[in-house]
């Protein structure tokens, strides 16, 4: 964070990835099917286990204010996740294309950080 806030030029030199294009890396190297299946299965299991937890909190809610707060935090968490997924689904990597402005910015950045030798 020190580089980002106090030495931003050095940060840009070290961490700028605009020289790379999506098309430079073959599609086969960008796909991780086993990891994707594992993460999808794990998140599905977690989402299914979320429901009984919410019901157990609902049953104890009348006894304590703490359970009421936990229940409403859980409801807000579920609504926010669903809303975020519906509003902004992730695009597939194969459909990602750069616009003309992005291409121009990439070329300008490439020229800016090119080694002067």
Residue 29 · residue 93 · CB < 8 Å:
no
pLDDT in tens, 39-75: 999 988 988 898 888 888 888 777 888 888 888 898 8
> Within 13 Å, how many C-alpha atoms sit on residue 20's CB side?
6
Q: What is the pTM of this model?
A: 0.48
Task: Enumerate the domain spans of the chain.
Answer: 50-93
pLDDT in tens, 27-37: 788 788 899 89
pLDDT in tens, 7-45: 888 888 888 877 777 778 787 887 888 998 999 999 889
């Amino acid at each position: 964070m020190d580089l980002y806030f106090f030495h931003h030029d050095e940060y840009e030199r070290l961490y700028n990835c605009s020289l790379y294009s999506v098309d430079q890396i073959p599609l086969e190297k960008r796909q991780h099917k086993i990891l994707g299946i594992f993460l999808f299965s794990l998140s599905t299991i977690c989402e299914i286990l979320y429901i009984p937890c919410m019901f157990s909190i609902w049953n104890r809610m009348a006894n304590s204010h703490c359970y009421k707060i936990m229940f409403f935090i859980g409801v807000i968490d579920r609504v926010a996740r669903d809303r975020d997924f519906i509003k902004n689904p992730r695009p597939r990597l194969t459909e990602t294309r750069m616009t003309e402005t992005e291409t121009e910015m990439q070329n300008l950045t490439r020229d800016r950080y090119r080694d002067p030798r």
